[in-house]
Amino acid sequence: MFGNNLEPGGDFPLAGSGAQSSTRARGGIGLTMFAIWQVDAPERFITDAETLDLALDKVDTMCRLKHDEAVAKLETQSEGYTFEIRNPEGTALATLSYHPDISRPYTSVVVEEMRHRT
């Protein structure tokens, strides 16, 4: 359903550091284990993570931010948001589609079973 286009327009420097993510700087083949991308139009690099648990936490944080924006009636996408966790080669390992539900408080999109795999 989604491609692995690793060259979205523009660079995405890390806030405050002026340095690029190693994953972004090397065109998707980075030094970190995982890269988090928002893949609904337009596709954009969010951040990278050393572990899957950290990648899951970062995706959960992005979903919480999107929920908070929806509650505050800031600009939101009616069709929701889609995030991917990719390996250093750019292959999508996990895809999550999130639609904020402002009728209730935010609940984590990460279930414990995702963290405790064998």
Is residue 47 very low, low, confident or very high in pLDDT (cuts 50, 70, 90)? very high
**What is the pTM assigned to this prediction?**
0.69
> What residues pair up with 84 in beta bridges, in sequence order?
37, 95
Closest CA to 84 of 50, 56, 106: 56
CA distance 56 to 115: 8
For the chain, the structural domain boundaries read 33-101
CB neighbour list of residue 55: distance below 8 Å, 6 or more residues apart: 33, 34, 36, 49, 85
- Tens digits of residue pLDDT in 51-60: 999 999 999 9
